[in-house]
Amino acid sequence: MRAGFRFLVLASAALACGRPSELRLEPADGGSDGGQAIRVIGSDFLGHGPAVVYVGMRSARAVVIEDDHHISLKTPEAESFGAVDVRIDFGDGTSRVMPQAFTYREVEGKPLRPVYFKPGAVPVPSAE
């Protein structure tokens, strides 16, 4: 085996092992009223400290890092219908983003509660 080709094969294998795998959600949709149990499936979840998962602009509840390949959570209420980004922020500063990964469906009889912002404050749903 030629030295250049051997280096290329070894370098490709090292890069593939060092990179986290693609992330996916199961299921990838749920009701706008929140509380949907979902799992994030991927890799490299351990060793980064605790995780906060955002579904759209709101943080998920009951976030549990089950093992290096699974995180379970319950979705928050939706701020809008349709697809939203899902972001995982770990305690060590590592962040992973899944663009437009979760889709909120309208639930009959459950209107959306608006989110109000104040500069420098954390967004919260209105009490109305």
Contacts (Cβ under 8 Å, ≥6 apart) of 72: 37, 38, 39, 40, 62, 63, 64, 66
Q: How confident is the model at residue 92 (pLDDT cuts 50, 70, 90)?
A: very high
Structure pTM?
0.73
Q: Give φ, ψ of 28 to 5 degrees.
A: -100, 15
pLDDT(42) > 80 = yes
When the pLDDT of each residue in the chain is averaged and rounded to a whole number, the result is: 83
Please report, for residues 2, 33, 97, 103, the alpha-carbon distance to residue 84 in angstroms, rounded to integers and kept in the order given.
48, 15, 11, 6
Going by C-alpha positions, the residue among 91, 61, 69, 72 that lies closest to residue 23 is 69
pLDDT of residue 121: 67
70: pLDDT strictly greater than 90? yes
